[in-house]
Amino acid sequence: MTALSVSTSSAASLRADALVIGVAKGPKGIVLAPGAEAVSEAFEGKLAEVLTTLGATGAEGEAVKVPSPAGLKAALVLAVGLGDAADGGYEAEALRRAAGVAARTLAGSKKAALVLPAESADEVEAVALGGLLGSYAFGTYKGNGNGKEPVGELVLLATRKGSKEAKAAVERAVVVGEEMNRARDLVNTAPNDLNPKGFAAIAQAAGKEHGLKVEVLDEKALLKGGYGGLLGVGNGSVNPPRLVKVAYTHPKAKASLAFVGKGITYDSGGISLKPAGHNETMKCDMAGAAAVFAAVVAAKRLGLQVNVTAWLALAENMPSGSATRPGDVLKMYGGKTVEVLNTDAEGRLVLADAIVRAGEENPDVIVDVATLTGAMMLALGARTFGVMANNDELRETLHTVAGEAGEQSWPMPLPADLRKGMTESTIADLANMGDRMGGGLVAGLFLKEFVAEGIDWAHLDIAGPAFHEGAPYGYTPKGGTATAVRTLVRFAERTAAGDKA
């Protein structure tokens, strides 16, 4: 991973391959952002004019390179757009995205200095995290020389080096960035290299490294325990399912959280087979499990004063002679029966088992995370996840927390009238399908049926933003994005501080 350091050296004296400055859109042309003063002096006050001549506008996502003049020790100046000029300071997300653009643009460089606005601790963290996330590259399967290496080192120029706030901001950025990149790696790994057993082994290794308690239920333990959802989904694969518990406890914790993640390491749809064009990226169907796993590791590394447990519901959904058929009835963990009408609605089945199991430990809040429905993508697009809950205050809190963390979300309802379609099975307690219209909400209502009375629960449907198939933008790469990790970590932080509302 790209190294990160903080310096109070002047931009003019710092030796680097490039100096990164921010520019914004002003009413009369581009405006240099705070931090660029020394660089502008080296251009004899004409830097904005030079950048304008080269076509710079200050728009978000823009990157314009200029050879450095004699007064700078860095070879290159890179101007990245921050969007509209802001007199009161730039939003954290604008800084994160600008730093990410810079890191991506400078791939192949050994050292780059980020001379972006970084006066406050929040700005320091935003620039640091954006740079680390923008530097991400997944090269596991690429041969040597195939693609540029990530920038080797990022130096953040700040005025608060040595302050407790700035130091804590950088440390938090490193932890969150590393754990998000861990989740991205898991999502990007080819499904022939990441099956439920392999994912469980990765969790065990991380537990040993970071002092987390990890328990793994294999197929024998799942059968003995009556986990019909996990077994029903995994029956068609030669790679049997797993339920993995990753627990972090703090001796002074006054609250406990359970994060439940859908971990379908490959989703063919099962007997209800997905058509061509819809299964090529289905290695990403374990992004929810990757997110909750990374969030718990981050909570431990940050030393948050809250107990957090991740439940990874891992299975591979494949068609075979032993696969669950449409029309089969599964007895779920906890005793409810479910008629399977569509084997491609499998995520809710594995999550249901894990939610019931998580509820047995009486957490204050359960949050499940899943790439659950295409319907949510149709509703909210490819960059926004849906938030549902059995508690309106919790739903609004998670929506707010996501915004604080820099993630796009939208609160969604759980209309009681949509429950009817899945409770009309003539042979089981529930069906795993209901009304076609509002399918994302129906899936949420299904999961709600498995939440123990008295426990607050929320459901994050990350089907849209979990896997980015377009060109990279900001700090977001093509492929796995680690959606929801920041939201979960921020929620854990607020809970630790006694601020859940």
**CA–CA distance, 471 with 269 (Å, rounded to integer):** 27
Counted residue by residue, the chain has a size of 501
Contact 39, 190 (CB under 8 A): no
Go through 238-251 and write b for each residue having 16 or more CB atoms within 10 A of its CB, e for each that does not. Answer: ebbbbbbbbbbebe
**CA–CA distance, 137 with 192 (Å, rounded to integer):** 20
Both structure tokens of 92? 């954290």
Grouping H, G, I as helix, E, B as strand and the rest as coil, residue 311 is: strand
Quickly tell me which residue has 């390491």 as its tokens: 265
Closest CA to 187 of 178, 176, 174, 199: 199
- Given the residues 97, 348, 357, 494, select the one marked as catalytic: 348
Query: Which residues are registered as beta bridge partners of 26?
Result: 29
Angle 348-349-351 from CA coordinates, rounded to 5°:
65
> Which sign does the torsion angle of CA 416, 418, 424, 427 carry?
negative
**CA–CA distance, 264 with 243 (Å, rounded to integer):** 11
Q: Tell me, yes or no, if 420 is annotated catalytic.
A: no
Closest CA to 340 of 429, 433, 277, 403: 433
Q: Tell me, yes or no, if 274 is annotated catalytic.
A: yes
**CA–CA distance, 352 with 336 (Å, rounded to integer):** 10
Residue 270 DSSP label: T
- Given the residues 73, 167, 197, 274, select the one marked as catalytic: 274
Contact 400, 491 (CB under 8 A): no
Contact 308, 367 (CB under 8 A): no
Which H, E and C letters describe 168-223, residue by residue? HHHHHHHHHHHHHHHHHHHHHCCCCCCCHHHHHHHHHHHHHHHCCEEEEECHHHHH
**Burial of 141 per CB tally in 10 Å (0-12, 13-18, 19+):** exposed
**Active site residue ranges:** 274, 348
